[in-house]
Amino acid sequence: MHSVIGMIIGALVVAQAAIGSQQLHTRQDGIAELLTDINQISQYWGQIAPYRDNADSAFGVNNVGLPNGCQIEQAHSLQRHAQRFPSSYFDDGINDEKFAAKIQRQTRSSSNSSFTGPLAFLNSYQYQVGESYLTGIGASTEFESGVAFWNRYGRTVLNATVGQLQYNASYENATARPKPVLRTTSQSRMWNSQISWALGFFGPSFYETPMPGLDNFVNGSLFDVVIIPEGGTENNTLAAYDSCFEDLFTPLGLIGDDDAFLFYVPMYLADATERMNQYAPAGFQFNVNDTFAMQSICAYETGYIGRSDFCTLFTEDEWAGFELALDAEYYYDYSWGNPTGRAQGIGYLQELLARLQNEYIYSSNSSVNASITKNGEDFPLGRPFYADFTHDDIIISALTAMSLDYFREHPDLNTYPPDPDRHFFLSKITPFGGRLITEVIGCADPNPLEQHNARTQYYPTQYGYDPANAPHKFIRMRLNNGILPLDTIRGGQCAGRTDGMCAMEDFLASQAKAEELANYHFACFANYTLDDPFNGNDYDGTVNRDTEGITLYNGTITAEYVEDVLYG
């Protein structure tokens, strides 16, 4: 944190001076201290931040060890895709492209005037970024994630032997293991993320005897994949907005984007925009959307080509503003700030609860597709691990549907610089390659003593675990390694422990009301509008006919209606 060397630029001169970080937040006489350390800058990139493990205690759980007599017996991973090109939202890729076109119009039309100072690179700049696809850096993030999942869980849930580098399709006794089933959506970046994750986890590029054709991998003998269509009106718990029709229409589906882009961006980027305009040629004006694009392009170029000339143009506060804008976008689109926040996450939660109880789901009242969840081929039960590939927002909506109130904190759209002591940081919740891992832990004791320190478990029985004597099951969740405070789940069923563990039956009880709260059919299909969408309202992620501030009309929004109006 404190090793940052700031660079000063300002109204007076482009100064040579570099000053220490103790003055990081000071701005005097129009002088702004710019952040230049990319490791620090990139922590402010919200959902487009590169993956970093959170500290075990990042979410306030201080006893982070596994108690004696306990071991992880099953792991469910909900894995986000990694670095991608920007998407075609008005405040994302579209805004970046508009900015690039504006620069190009200027530099093509006017050979006389040019950008100066730190913006001189714009005179010859070309925007090289595409849209939507997973990048090479993204693929390597997923590969690393697959390796990390093996390294963390292979020894405990898959009985890895000494020196075993990757998953082995057979047990010690050479009998085949049941084939793992990975699930992804059909979207290019998602499916590619699953492929690279699997390359890391199943490890065919680092066998003892090199297998250049990756034959095991290629012939499908190691694992199966269920590819759930995305992009229409289908039920898909890993892209649940598709079947939550109300959310497909504006403004409801975009209230977070509008809060962030139309309200917060003009506030926090006013100074930066003025600063940029000092280096603009006569007749050219940057506006706040342009300045926002410069921050966004910095992040996307870094996720694509590994660097960017846009990154060193902003102060730490301005990066913190960028982060808050993104936090607000997601909070009000997909979490407690949106009437469909819970509905968009309930489907995955139902699937998780079904797997935890070894039950199929035979009929759906959510984004679950019961054709998938009622058969063991697509939805096998009792497996040592699960891996599902999804989007950032689904992870957030699932935590919302769970009522994990630790994160129920409205980003404050009226404060700049933002409060650094808040809980809802997208960069910690869903960076590129983010992952929510639900661990099922078996213990000998019904109330095992909390263990303060993290301990490497070199082998499963190291601290007294005995698989034949572990009748007491617990749930613990890790979000990008940080242990989630399950004791903050509303209702208090998981209260009592200080190590993030919650007894299985208590966890199930804590979720008994989740479906009712999500009110899926009403939230997603009723014909309602929000009277005042951009008021930072707390909908608690749900809505019903008595919710204040909605107007309910006749009719329901059907798949046919959506296909007609949106895809017709």
Instruction: Name the helix (H) or strand (E) containing 544.
Output: none
Task: Note whether 342 and 517 are within 8 A (CB).
Answer: yes
Structure tokens that stand for 546 in this block: 């008595």
DSSP states of 456-516: --SSTTTTS--GGG--EEEEEEEETTEEP-GGGBTTSTTTT-SSS-EEHHHHHHHTTTHHH
From candidates 36, 40, 216, 277, binder to ligand NAG by CB under 6 A: 216
* Radius of gyration (C-alpha) of the chain in whole angstroms: 25
110: contact with ligand NAG by CB under 6 A = yes
Asked if residue 207 binds ligand NAG (CB under 6 A), the reply is yes
Contact 201, 147 (CB under 8 A): yes
Which residues of 136-235 form beta strands (DSSP E)? 181-185, 224-228
Size of the site for ligand NAG (CB under 6 A): 41
Nearer of residues 285 and 447 to ligand NAG, judged by Cβ: 285
Q: Is 174 in the site for ligand NAG (CB under 6 A)?
A: yes
> Considering the rule CB under 6 A, would residue 172 count as an interface residue with ligand NAG?
yes
Contact 428, 480 (CB under 8 A): yes
The two tokens of residue 91 are 């405040």
Decide if residue 186 touches ligand NAG (CB under 6 A): no
Instruction: Confirm or reject binding of residue 508 to ligand NAG (CB under 6 A).
Output: no
Instruction: Return the range that interacts with ligand NAG (CB under 6 A); candidates 121-129, 172-180, 408-416, 493-501.
Output: 172-180
Cβ 549 vs Cβ 530: under 8 Å:
yes
- Please tell me the distance from the alpha carbon of residue 424 to that of residue 413, in angstroms, as a whole number: 13
CB 487: neighbour CB atoms within 10 A?
A: 20
Q: Which of residues 435-464 bind ligand NAG (CB under 6 A)?
A: none
If binding is defined by CB under 6 A, does position 194 make contact with ligand NAG?
Answer: no
Place of tokens 């579209």: 94
Question: Is 552 near ligand NAG (CB under 6 A)?
Answer: no
Binding status of residue 173 toward ligand NAG by CB under 6 A: yes
**Helix, strand or coil for residue 309?**
coil
Binder of ligand NAG out of 224, 234, 309, 450 (CB under 6 A): 234
235 binds ligand NAG (CB under 6 A): yes
Measured from the CB atom, the residue of 215 and 563 that comes closer to ligand NAG is 215
For residue 225, what are the β-bridge partners? Answer: 182
Instruction: Report in angstroms the alpha-carbon separations of 166 from 149, 182, 343, 394.
Output: 10, 16, 37, 29
Kindly write out the interface string for residues 290-319 of this chain, putting x where it contacts ligand NAG by CB under 6 A and - elsewhere. ------------------------------
Which among 82, 187, 85 has a CA at the least distance from the CA of 130?
A: 85
Options 5, 11, 215, 462; binder of ligand NAG; rule CB under 6 A: 215
SS3 72: strand
Q: Is 287 in the site for ligand NAG (CB under 6 A)?
A: yes
Which residue number, 1 or 176, has a Cβ lying nearer to ligand NAG? 176
Which residues within the stretch 346-385 sit at the binding site for ligand NAG (CB under 6 A)? 350, 361, 363-366, 368-372
Selected from 171, 452, 513, 545, the binder of ligand NAG by CB under 6 A is 171
Q: How far apart are CA 295 and CA 271, in angstroms?
A: 14
The sheet that has 32-34: what strands, in order across it?
18-19, 6-9, 32-34
Task: Report how far apart, in Å, the C-alpha atoms of 81 and of each of 139, 145, 207, 518 are.
Answer: 9, 10, 25, 25
Residue closer to ligand NAG, measured from CB, 356 or 429: 356
Residue 126 within binding range of ligand NAG, rule CB under 6 A: no
Q: Which stretch binds ligand NAG (CB under 6 A): 58-66, 298-306, 480-488, 549-557?
A: 549-557
Considering the complex, state which of residue 254 and residue 484 has its C-beta at the smaller distance from ligand NAG. 254
Least Å from the CB of residue 265 to ligand NAG: 8
The answer to whether 418 and 317 are in contact (CB under 8 A) is no
Minimum CB distance to ligand NAG, residue 205 (Å): 12
| Residue 278 interacts with ligand NAG (CB under 6 A): yes or no | no
CB of 166 to ligand NAG, least distance (A): 7
Residue from 159, 188, 278, 451 in contact with ligand NAG (CB under 6 A): 159
Q: Which of residues 47-106 bind ligand NAG (CB under 6 A)?
A: 90
Q: Which is nearer to ligand NAG, 243 or 390 (CB)?
A: 243
Residue 288 touches ligand NAG, criterion: CB under 6 A? yes
Write out the two tokens for 364. 């759906």
Closest-approach residue to ligand NAG (CB): 555
Token code pair at residue 440: 């099922």
User: Comparing C-alpha atoms, which of 454, 334, 447 is closest to residue 400?
Assistant: 334
Tally of CB atoms within 10 A around 206: 12
Residue with smaller CB distance to ligand NAG, 16 or 173: 173
DSSP 28: B
| Binding residues for ligand NAG (CB under 6 A) | 90, 110, 112, 159, 161, 168, 170-175, 207, 215-216, 219, 221, 234-235, 243, 287-289, 350, 361, 363-366, 368-372, 515, 527, 553-555, 557, 561
